[in-house]
Chain A
Amino acid sequence: MRKRWQNIIRFKWSALFLIAVLLGWQFLSGSGIVPRLILPSPLQVLHALISEFGVLMVHARITLWEAFIGLSLGLILSFALAVMMERWEPVYQGLYPILVITQTIPVIAIAPLLVLWLGYGIAPKVTLVVLVCFFPVVVGLLDGFKTADRDAIHLLSAMGANRWQIMRHIKLPVAMPSFFAGLKIAVAYSFVGAVIAEWLGGNAGLGVYMTRVKKAYAFDKMFAVILLIILISLLLMAVTKWIEGRVMVYRNYK
């Protein structure tokens, strides 16, 4: 109860600041101090979002689909990789540095290459999403495995458990908190990643829509897309958080 009250107070302050910023923005562009052509007012953006809603949803569905497939493949890959790295030390030693290096490659630089290699279809988008989202998940899992209690592992081996059972009953469950920490990042990345991949070529999706309205200098629609991306990302993170709560029910009983 007390916690909920504190949350409301915190929420109240961030809401107040947000409203203040929006009011200031509305004043700046509404009064003509900043030309509307360059910076549309929040109300214009809202208007664009509502009037373009149907079109935006068509594009959003495609982007979400790409993000979903990419994230799913990324998750399968991450689990397989993390489990193998945990199981065989040489795999861990060999792959970990390479994983870190792949994360320093700027996504924006390889995205055009992916388009050249894989065409204008869904493939380059999915590939990019896999690339951006599997690292936080793999690292989350690996760090999580490390938190397993040695005595607990001993106990299970003394009961006659094999490696798979130790993975199933100890390592995977204890890795869940840090897995979800990684997953939340991955989910946000996956959607934005799909949008970035769409910028560089394609027929549909929010990224494609973005490049179109940018070329038409329709900045109100541009901002509307950005707003939509923010909203969808927040929604996806909320869904992830909900799933986290379902998976780790025991955390409600502390």
Chain B
Amino acid sequence: MKLQACRICQSYHGLPVIQDIDLEVDEGEVVSLLGPSGVGKTTLFNILSGIDKPDSGQVLIDDEDMTGQAGRVSYMLQKDLLFEYKTVIDNVALPLIIKGVKKDEARKEALAHFDQFGLQGTDKFYPNQLSGGMRQRAALLRTYLFSQDVTLLDEPFSSLDAITKRQMHQWYLEIIHTLQMATLLITHDIDEALRLSDRIYLMTGKPGRITDMLTIRRNGRSEGAFETSPEFMAYKIKILDALKC
């Protein structure tokens, strides 16, 4: 198992925020964590990424206890956090530079992925010169270079307009399957979760708990065909019911 959370509890000022969270992400799998805002998704996110330590419970990566340790799990937020004062190439190469790779080599290594991420020709640009979709691509490449192990995405596409978002979804599905990145996608967008994931965890309540888990079977259909199928609607109804709580 690539990423595993075992019975994670966390409270703030004595108030439990999340309780007994168990979840797993397998090698090359895309798993979504779907829930309303305020359910503790970001709290869980900070624990899984190692920024915060939980009150109790464990985070395992490759069956190794990594609770409260940053650096193994890479993540990307809704705001892309590209540094406006660094060129695209230097933004993307930053995780390598932090790891101690020499600047020239880091740039070279980053540049090798530019075509694959649809960023060709943008290396000397500044983030301000890129469109929203391009910025997300650059941020995703940076995330990929940060750690190929597991990637956490916290509503990465929610600031994009609807059309760009769809394009990003399509592109994202392709790239994620080529690169075999194990991904946990945190979102409150049901369609997004259904389009992108292999499995979906539903998180509801106060404190937030995992209340349900769905395995999405597309039966080899293309994204467009799946999205208009009765199964898609069935999943959606099931999720909507579950989220009503």
- Give A contacts to B, CB under 8 Å: 149, 151-152, 154-161, 165, 169-170, 173-174, 176, 248-250, 253-254
Contacts and interface: CB of A to CB of B under 8 A. Distances in A.
B128 interface: yes
Interface in B82-96: 83-86, 94-95
Contact of A173 (B49, B51, B85, B125): B85
A171 to B, nearest CB: 12
Contact of A176 (B70, B85, B126): B85
**Which of A151, A159, A165, A248 has the most B CB atoms < 10 Å from its CB?**
A159
Interface string B83-122: 1111000000011011100000000000000000000000
A118 to B, nearest CB: 41
Given A157-B70, A159-B95, A248 B79 contact: no
Given A151-B81, A158-B51, A160-B70, 13 more contacts: A151-B79, A155-B75, A156-B94, A158-B146, A159-B70, A159-B71, A160-B98, A161-B98, A169-B83, A169-B97, A169-B98, A253-B126, A253-B129
28 contacts: A151-B77, A152-B81, A152-B83, A155-B75, A156-B98, A157-B51, A157-B70, A158-B50, A158-B71, A158-B73, A158-B74, A159-B70, A159-B71, A159-B94, A159-B95, A159-B146, A160-B70, A160-B98, A160-B99, A169-B83, A173-B83, A173-B86, A174-B85, A249-B126, A250-B86, A253-B125, A253-B128, A254-B128
Contacts of B75: 155, 158
Given A151-B77, A158-B51, A250 B85 contact: yes
Contacts, number: 60
Contacts of A159: 70-71, 74, 94-95, 98-99, 146
- Chain A contact surface mostly: helix
Task: Return the 3 tightest CB-CB contacts between A and B, nearest first.
Answer: A160-B71, A158-B70, A173-B85
Contacts of A154: 51
Contacts of A149: 81
